Each structure stands twice: as C-alpha cells, then as structure tokens.
C-alpha cells in the first residue's frame, strides 16, 4: 500500500528497509513460533547438539513437562526440529535441529545481538518513561 504523502516538496515516504514490500506475509508464522515463551530457549539449547527430552527439560530452566512437549511438537511440526524415537525400554527420544532449524539459529543470533546492543538504551528509556509517567500502568 503506497502511502505517498500529498506534500508538495516532502521527500518521498522513506522506507529504508523496504518493509512495505511484505507487510505481514509470513512474518506472523515465524513470530508465532519464536515469539512464545520457550521456543527460542529450546532452539538455543539444541544449537549445542542433539538432546533428549529430560536433558532439554533440565537445560531450559523453569519449563514444565507439558510446555516442553508442546514446544518441541510445534517445532517439529514446522520442520525446525527432528524427533527421533529409539525403540528401547524405557523409551528414548532425541531432538535435533533440522537444516531449516539450524538456519533459524542465525536469525536468533541476530536477535540476541540486537538485544544486547540496545539493552541499555531500552532499560534507560523504560526508567525514563516510568519516571515521567508514574501513574501510567501499561504492562
């Protein structure tokens, strides 16, 4: 959607990143996957190599059995994680990143880098906001 300003000499509406080209297309799918509470943490752990169910649960601190199950299932469904069942007894299952999943770690790293680079800015902005808007509660 072109939002060309009607301004006389106003410089064309800048879109430095070319984001207008794909407003929603597909981003939601990815955000729905990595935007939840645990997926990124699981992916990061799996970036270190294959893990069994209990290993993952111990590594990802605070995750419940239920949420770990749901998280790995969804990652598996999206083809980001490969689940392998070994017919031993008791059962043994391991999870590992697929090619797509491994590629996703690059994106996660970009996110982590950006977060670290701007962490101080954001923290400061929040403090400033909370100081100047004491009554306001938007969390």
Partner DNA sequence: CAGAATCCCTAATGATACTG
Partner DNA sequence: CAGTATCATTAGGGATTCTG
Short-list 85, 58, 83, 62, CA closest to 72: 83
**What is the binding site for its own copies (CB under 8 A)?**
1, 3, 5, 13-20, 22-27, 29-31, 34-36, 40-41, 44-45, 47-49, 59, 70, 73-74, 76-80, 100, 102-112, 114-116, 118-119, 121-122, 124-126, 128-130, 133, 136, 138
86: enclosing H helix or E strand:
strand 81-86
Residue 80: count of CB within 10 angstroms of its CB? 24
3 binds, options DNA, its own copies, none, Cβ within 5 to 8 A by partner type = its own copies
84 binds, options DNA, its own copies, none, Cβ within 5 to 8 A by partner type = none
96 binds, options its own copies, DNA, none, Cβ within 5 to 8 A by partner type = none
65 binds, options its own copies, DNA, none, Cβ within 5 to 8 A by partner type = DNA
Residue with tokens 């239920």: 66
Whole-angstrom Cα distance, residue 79 to residue 86?
A: 20
Residue with tokens 């909370």: 130
For its own copies, the closer of residues 24 and 91 by Cβ is 24
Find the shortest distance in angstroms from Cβ 133 to DNA: 9
66 upstream amide cis, omega within 30 of 0: no
């Amino acid at each position: 959607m072109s939002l060309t300003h009607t301004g006389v000499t106003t410089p064309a509406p800048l879109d430095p990143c070319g984001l207008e080209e794909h407003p929603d297309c597909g981003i939601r799918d990815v955000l729905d996957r990595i935007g939840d509470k645990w997926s990124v943490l699981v992916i990061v752990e799996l970036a270190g190599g294959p893990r069994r169910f209990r290993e993952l649960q111990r590594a990802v601190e605070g995750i419940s059995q239920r949420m770990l199950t749901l998280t790995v299932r969804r990652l598996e469904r999206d083809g980001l994680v490969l689940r392998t069942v070994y017919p031993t007894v008791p059962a043994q299952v391991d999870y590992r990143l697929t090619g797509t999943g491994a590629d996703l770690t690059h994106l996660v790293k970009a996110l982590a880098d950006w977060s670290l680079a701007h962490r101080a800015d954001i923290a400061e902005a929040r403090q400033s906001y909370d100081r100047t808007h004491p009554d306001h509660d938007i969390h």
